[in-house]
Amino acid sequence: MHSSSNKTQIWSNLEEHCNEISKKSLIELFNENQKRGSDFSIPFGELWIDISKQTIDSKTIQLLSDLAEENKINQFFIDMMTGSPVNLTEKKPALHTALRAPKDSKILVEGENVMPKIAETLEKMEKFSSYLRSGKLLGSTGAPITSVVALGIGGSNLGPVMAHKALSKFAHPEITIEFCSSIDSVDLDQTLNRLNPETTIFLVTSKSFNTRETLLLMENAKKWLEESIVTSGLSKHLVGITSARDKAIKYGLEESMIFDLPDWVGGRFSLPSAAGLALMVSIGPDEFSNLLSGMNKIDNKTVSEPFESNGALLLALTDIWNRSFLDHPTMAIIPYSSQMSYFPPYLQQLMMESLGKTHQNDGHGFSSSIGSVIWGATGTESQHAFFQFLHQGSDVVPCEMLGFSNSYKNLHQEQQDSLFANLLAQSEVLAFGSDTEEVPIPEKKLEGNRPSTVILAPELTPFILGQLISLYEHRTVASGVIWGVNPFDQWGVELGKSIANDIELAMINSRPSVDNSKRNSSSEKLLEKFKNFRNS
């Protein structure tokens, strides 16, 4: 907690320590401690987390641990996982961990155990998925469903898309899974052009069943279906995933085709809920269960491990150190796996929507910056794109590199070796640069001293992916708690949606916008030009 009016002694101690350690290079830190690679690495579940190439020492870790303890981070995780209303502004629990907890757990919300309802939804998902995967789910004309189109935006899309791509090696070979989130008509049109209406089903995910973009996609999907299927048969091709069951029924969905999405789960944390149905259809209930087991394993370790061996907390504290003390505004996420190409954008929502806040929970502003801009791309591709900037650019960008020791079924293991060799080489050069005595040409000189973290896992499986997802979730939540913000709301997104609806209504009705008196001259001119281009 560090508003300008309540900076604590621990925060001040960290600022003082930052002034000292920032004078040291990573080369010096490694020279001071020959065991640094071991001393600043930990196992966490099946993951190996190495923060030795960050600008830290044992005193940094101790002071950051004091900061976490001061903010009662352990108690927060206990409160969160037992159903307390930790989402302060919305006065709701944030119980995504319950979605992957053992079925015999007891977690109370307002006196009611939520686990039976979670188990019921999961069982319904498993039956639906198994039915579809076995060719027994029929459309309105009697043809088996072989294509699934998931309609949703934000958390309803980014998590499932990321996981589906990451686990593509586990996908059912005869079922097509597509995702559409954009209201750009080209996105849905190009997808539907590849599919047969008689064998296609749409999964419509919206917690409120009021999301403008998703409902627009659903209406266009209905029109496409109606060209081949009588209107009375549409309900066999529409599945709702929502906490607003009544609204979904009003839109023509059958009650038996609606899966409950708990009101207390945020979109960016919703993959283990019914929002992950498309993923379960793809990889099957057993592998989806392995994904949940991986998540649950890291949930348990996060709430029980002490600071020095708690991977989620150590990464959160490192993020706070890099952003608020060393003043690095961005962080690059580099997975050395082509299957993980959607992981950086998934983390953009998870971390930036959670931590993009201007005020603390007590209403105070901040005396330093919080939350990082998250960006990145897959490994060797990014080396040939933006790594030049990482190595020699004027801004220092902390990097996080993800690697996997084994390829799928150990095929093409030599390419996996090459991927890791590239990962390790880049992390070394970022940290240590080039030997200045051997580089007489200034343009070729690499200063090094660019911090990075390496997260290594045995193989990209559902169980391992579940651990990675949970790790980043808890790391994000912990950062928010220590910074003193609510990581579960996103009010900054809501106003833009409201204004967009107003403008859209004005365009449809060919009248001035409802709030015309407040519309600025730039927006009015752009609206005018938009209409001119439309009519020219």
Residues 271 and 353 in one domain: no
Position 509 scores a pLDDT of: 67
Active site residue 96: no
3-state helix, strand, coil split of the chain in percent (to 5) is 55, 10, 35
How many domains is the chain partitioned into structurally? 3
| Domain-embedded: residue 357 | yes
8 Å CB contact between 152 and 213: no
Q: Is residue 295 part of a domain?
A: no
Same domain membership, residue 452 and residue 310 = yes
**DSSP β-ladder status, 112-113 and 452-457:** unpaired
The verdict on residue 272 lying in a domain is yes
Residue 148's CATH number: 3.40.50.10490
279 and 343 both lie in a single domain: no
Q: Are residues 479 and 502 in the same domain?
A: no
Catalytic residue, candidates 353, 400, 473, 474: 353
* Dihedral sign of CA atoms 280, 283, 286, 290 in order: negative
Whether 352 and 458 share a structural domain: yes
C-alpha 497/C-alpha 513 separation (Å) is: 15
* Vertex 305: Cα angle to 335 and 264 (nearest 5): 70
Give me the helices (H) in 43-114, please.
58-70, 73-81
107 with 228, same domain: the answer is yes
Per annotation, catalytic residue among 117, 444, 497, 529: 497
Domain containing 140: what range? Answer: 96-287
Note whether residue 87 is domain-resident: no
Mean pLDDT value across the chain? 93
Whether residue 498 lies inside any domain: the answer is yes
The domain boundary, picked from 244, 259, 287, lies at: 287
Are 468 and 504 part of one and the same domain?
no
Task: Encode the chain (536 residues) as per-residue pLDDT tens digits.
Answer: 454 446 899 999 999 999 999 999 999 999 999 999 999 999 999 999 999 999 999 999 999 999 999 999 999 999 999 999 999 999 999 999 999 999 999 999 999 999 999 999 999 999 999 999 999 999 999 999 999 999 999 999 999 999 999 999 999 999 999 999 998 889 999 999 999 999 999 999 999 999 889 999 999 999 999 998 877 789 999 999 999 999 999 999 999 999 999 999 999 999 999 999 999 999 999 999 999 999 999 999 999 999 999 999 999 999 999 999 999 999 999 999 999 999 999 999 999 999 999 888 877 777 788 999 999 999 999 999 999 999 999 999 999 999 999 988 888 899 999 999 999 999 999 999 987 566 667 778 889 999 999 999 999 999 999 999 999 999 999 999 999 999 999 888 877 777 887 888 777 766 555 555 567 899 888 888 888 898 87
* Residue 76 domain-assigned (yes or no): no
Residue 376 in domain: yes
Q: Are residues 506 and 477 part of one domain?
A: no
Same domain, 270 and 382: no
If one counts every other C-beta atom within 10 angstroms of the C-beta of residue 492, the result is 11
The pLDDT of residue 5 is: 47
Closest CA to 153 of 96, 216, 100: 216
Q: In this structure, are 43 and 143 located in the same domain?
A: no
**pTM (2 d.p.):** 0.95
What tokens appear for 430 in the block? 């970022």
How far is C-alpha 69 from the geometric centre of its chain's CA atoms?
Answer: 26
The reported pLDDT for the residue numbered 193 is 95
Evaluate whether 357 touches 370 at the Cβ level (below 8 Å). Answer: yes
Residues 419 and 471 in one domain: yes
Task: Please indicate, yes or no, whether residues 474 and 524 belong to a single structural domain of this protein.
Answer: no
Domain assignment present for 91: no
Candidates 481, 370, 485; CA nearest to 72 is: 481
Which of 91, 223, 384, 409 is catalytic? The answer is 384
